[in-house]
Amino acid sequence: MKNFNQKVAAITGAGSGIGQQLAILLAQQGTHLALSDVNEQGLVETRSLIAQYPVNATFTQLDVSNQEAIRAWAADSFTHHGKINLIFNNAGVALASTVEGMNYEEMEWIFNINFWGVVYGTKEFLPYLKQSGEGHVINISSLFGLTAQPTQSAYNATKFAVRGFTEALRQELDIQNNGVSATCVHPGGIRTNIANNARMSDSIRALGMNPARASRSFNKVLKTPPSDAAKIILDAVRKNKARILIGTDAKILDVVQRITPTHYSQALNFLTKKSQKNGK
């Protein structure tokens, strides 16, 4: 997709962080918007941030783990806007827990949002993207969809799953050559609300971590502004890239995990300690 002017984009998790910045950047480029989030207050904020741009925007409060809600949102958006060209499956949550200390409810919670939310968003919007003649699916994985880390087993599993799902989808769409494509996005640390909203389990004490301080440490490694992330994502869609890495941290670790797939955790520890020492 060479430009976004007069296209229609749907974004999940549009009330904060990367999703909100995508909405602003697209509105600036004349893209009409179907925005959703579970957090109504976030949507109100996004509405005011894009109000100055002459685009048609709809706002829907929904939970991406609810398939019926996504199905209805996709249908309503298509009816309202007359077409849908882009779906950004962006909504996501984080959880820090050991495998041993994690209960099944926590795992189901994060899988329902980070993985099933992406699956529902992809499958329910795909027919409308095809019907619209020109379409793109953008699924947000993570640096943690390429490398694993202690306390992140569930998050890692959801983001590795998003990567596999999206890479297979991309190949199917390439074979069909039907005007629709897909990009898998792997951000490193982006300065958003993800750490503030994360669930921190007491079980991480077993690894010498303090759950009360974990979100502060987590925040310290979130460097890239979400507006930069949004620009990089839209540029990748314009160039029809299959995969995009965001941030120096993601780029370095991607290389390291290819060179040493079983020892990359040492490089990750080094980078984390260095950035915490710098106090950034």
3-state secondary structure of 34: strand
Residue 155 a catalytic site member: yes
- 13 near ligand NAD, rule: CB under 6 A: yes
Distance between CA atoms of 39 and 42, rounded to whole angstroms?
5
Distance CA 241, CA 129 (A): 18
Pick one of 10, 55, 91, 180: the residue that binds ligand NAD (CB under 6 A): 91
Using CB under 6 A as the binding rule, whether residue 184 contacts ligand NAD is answered as: no
List the one residue from 11, 137, 194, 236 that touches ligand NAD (CB under 6 A). 194
The DSSP bridge pattern shows strands 95-96 and 135-140 to be unpaired
For ligand NAD, give the closer residue by CB, 73 or 128: 73
Q: Is 190 in the site for ligand NAD (CB under 6 A)?
A: yes
Q: Between 264-277 and 211-220, two packed helices, what is the crossing angle to 10 degrees?
A: 90
85 counts as binding ligand NAD under rule CB under 6 A: no
Residues 230-269 binding ligand NAD (CB under 6 A) are none
Contact between 113 and 128 under an 8 Å Cβ cutoff? The reply is no
Site for ligand NAD in 19-58 (CB under 6 A): 19, 37-39, 42
Q: Does 271 interact with ligand NAD (rule: CB under 6 A)?
A: no
Helices 17-28 + 226-238 axis angle, to 10: 60
Those residues whose C-beta lies under 8 Å from the C-beta of residue 6, and which sit 6 or more positions away, are 30, 31, 32
Q: Which residues are catalytic?
A: 155
Which residues sit at the interface with ligand NAD, rule CB under 6 A? 12-13, 15-19, 37-39, 42, 63-65, 90-93, 113, 140, 142-143, 187, 189-190, 192-194, 197, 222
